[in-house]
């Protein structure tokens, strides 16, 4: 198995200016694993309650996601998140978070899970992220995501988790909140001093940037005319990013740059419909087509620049 994810497997109730859903499959690990499944084999670590039906589990199975490390508590209830977006779709307003079965979750990874080459510590209580990190000591690359709630209520544990990973994938507001530094570049530099080798800052409709101690690489978001529901865009980005990396032998900077594009491609599909609906129906051809569109969108020629000689100066020279 090449890619492991721990994170929330949830029911989401979401309202956007364009519609609402009272109960749909959500959670960081769900969005991540469905997205990553287009690139590699994925195994999900998490917990669900007795209300998690066969129909929901089928979504994972249809995408070849290994759910043998997904624990079931028949007498418990699945994690629930209720959120709302206003016209600024970059900002999610959390109305309710019910940890339910995650409150007492103690992840115990199977032997196969412990041997994963790449690991994503998806958005969930940082103590759980650390417990999983402890069990995958041999992983080649470990990445982490988080959110404002954990920065506020579990800061110390989150800092410990961040110290133990290679890549941090967060949004711009979280980077600022985490460091109390309004300038994003300075915030990034500070996070890199804590241990991670790379930081990815997601900036919603403005794209994403990959920052290391020596490089800066930024890409725009795909120019969509209608964004329906941004829920899970960050996890879907991370799924494309990590999924593509897992399919590569060398995890060098060139691979990371291509992975950034695949992350953005996947996120751009995710926001076109509610929850995981659009990504569930994706084809490889659609992914490749949008990858090519990104290449075209950001391509430019390098030319040796010289100041053009003005016509007057030219005439003078010739005369
Ligand atoms: P994002 O990719 O940042 O839009 O994440 C959206 C997903 O995060 C939703 O599907 C929620 O179920 C999940 N989520 C929201 N709050 C939390 C939380 N406190 N812990 C774990 N997952 C959460």
The pLDDT of residue 1:
54
The pLDDT of residue 187:
97
Round to whole Å and give the CA distance between 14 and 82.
6
Tell me the mean pLDDT in the region 121-147: 97
Pairing of strands 70-73, 42-49: parallel
- Residue 29 pLDDT more than 90? yes
Q: Atom of ligand 1 at shortest distance to CA of 236?
A: 2
The pLDDT of residue 208:
97
Q: What is the tens place of the pLDDT at every residue in 187-200?
A: 999 999 999 999 99
Q: Where are the alpha helices (DSSP H) in 136-225?
A: 148-153, 155-163, 172-179, 184-193
Ligand 1 pocket: which of 147, 170, 271 to mutate (most atoms <8 Å of CB)?
Answer: 147
- The three-class DSSP label of residue 113 is helix
Round to whole Å and give the CA distance between 236 and 36.
8
Q: Where are the alpha helices (DSSP H) in 100-232?
A: 111-114, 126-135, 148-153, 155-163, 172-179, 184-193
Q: What is the tens place of the pLDDT at every residue in 267-291?
A: 999 999 999 999 999 999 999 999 9
Ligand 1 and 235: CB distance under 6 A? yes
- Residue 26 pLDDT more than 90? yes
Ligand 1 and 232: CB distance under 6 A? yes
The pLDDT of residue 113:
97
The pLDDT of residue 300:
93
Read off the pTM.
0.95
Q: Nearest residue CA, atom 18 of ligand 1?
A: 124
Tell me the mean pLDDT in the region 61-65: 98
Tell me the mean pLDDT in the region 44-64: 97
């Amino acid at each position: 198995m090449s890619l492991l994810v721990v994170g929330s497997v949830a029911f989401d109730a979401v309202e956007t200016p364009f519609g609402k859903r009272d109960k749909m499959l959500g959670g960081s690990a769900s969005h991540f694993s469905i997205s990553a499944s287009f690139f590699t084999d994925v195994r999900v670590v998490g917990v669900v309650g007795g209300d998690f039906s066969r129909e929901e589990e089928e979504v994972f199975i249809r995408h070849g996601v290994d759910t043998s490390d997904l624990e079931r508590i028949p007498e418990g209830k699945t994690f629930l998140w209720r959120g709302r977006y206003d016209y600024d779709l970059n900002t999610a307003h959390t109305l309710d978070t019910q940890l339910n079965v995650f409150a007492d979750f103690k992840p115990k990874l199977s032997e196969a899970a412990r041997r994963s080459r790449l690991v994503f510590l998806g958005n969930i209580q940082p103590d759980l992220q650390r417990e999983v990190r402890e069990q995958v000591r041999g992983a080649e690359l470990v990445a982490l995501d988080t959110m404002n709630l954990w920065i506020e209520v579990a800061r110390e544990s989150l800092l410990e988790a961040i110290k133990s990973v290679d890549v941090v994938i967060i949004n711009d507001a979280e980077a600022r909140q985490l460091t109390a530094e309004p300038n994003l570049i300075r915030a990034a530099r500070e996070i890199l001093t804590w241990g991670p080798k790379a930081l990815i800052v997601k900036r919603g409709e403005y794209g994403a940037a990959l920052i290391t101690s020596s490089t800066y690489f930024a890409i725009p978001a795909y120019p969509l005319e209608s964004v329906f529901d941004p829920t899970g865009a960050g996890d879907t980005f991370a799924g494309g990013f990590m999924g593509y990396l897992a399919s590569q032998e060398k995890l060098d900077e060139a691979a990371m740059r291509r992975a950034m594009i695949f992350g953005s491609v996947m996120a751009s599909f995710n926001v076109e419909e509610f929850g995981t609906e659009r990504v569930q129906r994706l084809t490889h051809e659609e992914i490749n087509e949008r990858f090519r569109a990104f290449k075209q969108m950001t391509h430019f020629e390098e030319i040796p620049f010289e100041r053009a000689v003005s016509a007057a100066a030219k005439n003078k020279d010739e005369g």
